[in-house]
Structure 1
Amino acid sequence: MSTALTPRQPSGSRGLRVLVSGLASDAHTWNLVYLQVQLEEWGHEVVNLGACVPDELLVEECLRLAPDLVVISSVNGHGFHEGARVIGALRAHDILSRLPVVIGGKLGVHGPDERGRAEALAEAGFDGVFEDGVGMASFRSFLARLGAGVPS
């Protein structure tokens, strides 16, 4: 029997437990550090898996840590293809089927929203898709919809 994860609802200053990760082929780290610092400044607990994270490790850590949110960041331009594979691996586990997962950054090599990438990733199972250049406002709005209480 599997139990679906339910995000913790923040009470007062208690934020979400957020797992931040890069994709298997992406060796960039500055984006992950930036996300970690920003989320911590907003009052969330962050576990940063770092760069070049194999799909299996991401799944294992999600099962082990039971985060409230997973944030996947891509800088190398392979976010669309790798993201589709990763969300499939996560959603294949009943216990992770309702876990909020977002992806952002450089998702392709030919510019923003090339051929409906954002819609395709949402249909694949991502709860939020934040293309490179969108800025943090959309991400903050997403966190607010989760009930994460992001300060202004």
Structure 2
Amino acid sequence: MDLAEPVSDRRGLDIVVTSLASDAHTWNLVYLQLFLEELGHRVANLGACVPDDLLVAECARRRPDLVVISTVNGHGFHEAKRVIARLRARPELTATPVVVGGKLGIDGPGGLDRAAALTAAGFDGVFEDGGALAAFRSFLARLPVGVRS
């Protein structure tokens, strides 16, 4: 199956792609942006080292259909928990789907424990293992367009 098969039967999603405040990596963000755009979605890429306040403000302003947080520096688990609390504290963002993926810890994929903790903290999806891209694509296909309209 081609993971970048375009969306054909509906209008694409408005998606914010971002990293966390301590993560200076950019290739993961470029890859995600291109992948999502190939699928027919519109992407606002906030870039690397995004401060929590900026992420929350941009999401409140843009009201995206989805927020995708990508991290590869190994500190994602702890930072993601802090960021999702900030996003969910804003009434206009409580229903916005938010996912996180990449290298969330320095000890390798955290399995169900890390995913369960992040889901309990407020994430709608956690994509960390080897099949993450296919699982992420499946997640995208289930999202309704205009979640925040």
TM-score (normalised: structure 1): 0.87
Aligned twin of 2:44:
47
The question of 1:90 aligning with 2:87 is answered yes
The superposition leaves residues 40-69 of structure 1 with CA deviations (integer Å, 9 ceiling, x where unpaired) of 000000000000000000000001111100
Distance 1:115 1:16 in 2: 28
Distance 2:81 2:127 in 1: 14
- Unpaired runs of at least 5, structure 1: 1-9
Select between 132-141 and 27-36 the one with higher mean Cα deviation: 132-141
Select between 25-34 and 105-114 the one with higher mean Cα deviation: 105-114
Distance 2:98 2:39 in 1: 18
Aligned twin of 1:36:
33
1:16 pairs, out of 13, 17, 29, with: 13
Aligned residue-pair number: 139
Distance 1:137 1:121 in 2: 20
Aligned twin of 2:65:
68
1:117 pairs, out of 114, 117, 136, with: 114
Q: 3-state DSSP class of the match of 1:141? A: helix
CA contact (8 A) 1:28 1:76 kept: yes
Q: Shift in Å at residue 132 of structure 1?
A: 4.3
Q: 3-state DSSP class of the match of 1:50? A: coil
TM-score (normalised: structure 2): 0.88
Q: Shift in Å at residue 27 of structure 1?
A: 0.1
Distance 1:23 1:51 in 2: 7
Q: Which runs of 4+ in 1 moved over 2 A?
A: 10-13, 132-135
Q: 3-state DSSP class of the match of 2:67? A: strand
